Amino acid sequence: MNFSQKQLRQVAEFPWGEDIINSTCPLCGKVVKDCHFAFVGLDRINGKSLTILKLQELHPVTGQPKFCSYAPSAWYSKQKFARETTMDFRWYLLHQNIIPKSEDKTYDDQKTMLTANYEVPSAITEVTKDLLVFRKTGNFVNQSRYARCECVASGGGRVDVGDFGENGLRVSSYWGGGRYGSIGLAASRKF
């Protein structure tokens, strides 16, 4: 991969200072550096858009981390959020797990749990975070839960990412923003 000088300048400095990294997380009460994961998001890799489907190509079923289902049989293989949506080329700082006590709430109720410095990430951002956390630590995040994302599938269901374990990372969708016991909210620090 080659990066332009402009791109390198964009990510040369980490945008959140030590005051934020060493502060108490308003979502869970831990120190931010202990409950968040930072990474540079890529919009392209080797000239191709870095989408969820491209991440599947880069993480085959024979290794770890992997996905639970793959295109073309994955339900989302024709969905815009999986085929077209990419991240911006910039730093991201995501809460590693779902927001504590955000399960069994509607999407609207979950969003009220976010402070002004947080937003709900896209599915590609949450998938990337999950894969990178595993690559760095060997730990699966959100093993028996799903992180609700901002993306909506063509049928109207909000996209959820999680239930990540030996069988792979799952990408799901549940109608609307209803209450589900295993679906909490993903959270990303605003840039």
pLDDT digits (tens), the chain, 191 positions = 778 888 888 899 999 999 999 999 999 999 999 999 999 999 999 999 999 999 999 999 998 999 999 999 999 999 999 999 999 999 999 999 999 999 999 999 999 999 999 999 999 999 999 999 999 999 999 999 999 999 999 999 999 999 999 999 999 998 767 788 899 999 999 98
Tokens 């959820």 identify what position?
160
Write out the two tokens for 78. Answer: 């024709």
Partners of residue 165 on adjacent β-strands: 168
**Alpha-carbon distances of 67 from 13, 20, 76, 135, rounded to whole Å:** 32, 33, 12, 14
Instruction: Check if the beta carbon of residue 183 is closer than 8 Å to that of residue 106.
Output: no
How many Cβ atoms sit within 10 Å of the Cβ of residue 13?
A: 8
- Rounded to 5°, the CA angle 115-118-124 comes to 150
Q: What is the pTM of this model?
A: 0.95
Rounded Cα distance, 102 and 162, in Å: 14
